[in-house]
Every structure is written in structure tokens, then in C-alpha cells.
Amino acid sequence: MALEFLLDKHYHLIGRNIKLFCGEIDLLMEDGKTLVVVEVKTKSNILFGLPQEEVDFHKQRKLLQLAKALTQKFPQKPIRIDVVAIDESADSVDHIISAVEEN
């Protein structure tokens, strides 16, 4: 669902479930000249919070590590981190652009 959503927004798929030494990238997309690390979070109901709330401090640190690792492979490309939150109970997709940024 997340992949189709992003492809409809004219993003290009570079890879999925990419394993690096420091973790795994759900989706690696390209938006124009920018590489986008996409974290996908899905919940079947939101009784205990929204899907995007699952991207806590520790997950954000891990995503920043993954983005840094990518800069070694793609030194000339800007990289950003997005979150795609899927609420299956409402059949909704929320795309948060630049959801995680280094301070």
C-alpha cells in the first residue's frame, strides 16, 4: 500500500527491505534528485495510538544512522527521511515528508 501510494506521487523505487550494517530500510525511493529513506508503519486499529507514533526516539536515531550510511554510497545526493503511516481501520495513508531530521 505504501509503495503504490508513493509511486502514484511519482516517486521512483530504488529498493525495498535494504539491509545495511546498521539496520534495514523499508523503502528507498527517489523524489526528483533526492534519495528518500521511507519508514512504513501500519496499524489495524488506533486504539493505542497512531502508526506514526511508533517512530520513537530510538527509531529516529536508527533512521538517521541508516541515512548516514547511505551518504557513503551516494555522496552527491541529498537524503531525507519520510514516514508513511497506514491506518487500516480507516483505510488511510499519511505521508510525513522529512519526518526525521538531525538537530
Sheet order of strands, 23-31 included? 12-20, 23-31, 34-43, 79-87, 92-100
pLDDT band at 49, cuts 50/70/90?
confident
Model pTM?
0.92
CATH number of the CATH domain containing 40: 3.40.1350.10
What is the average pLDDT across 8-28? 96
pLDDT at 103 over 80: no
What is the average pLDDT across 42-68? 90
> What range does the domain containing 38 cover?
2-100
User: Structurally, how many domains does the chain consist of?
Assistant: 1
pLDDT digits (tens, 9 = 90+) for 60-101: 999 999 999 999 999 999 999 999 999 998 889 999 999 999
Element (H, E) at 64: helix 57-73
Higher pLDDT, 77 or 50: 77
pLDDT at 40 over 90: yes
Average pLDDT of the chain?
93
Other CB atoms within 10 A of residue 33 CB = 8
CA–CA separation, 54 vs 43, rounded Å? Answer: 10
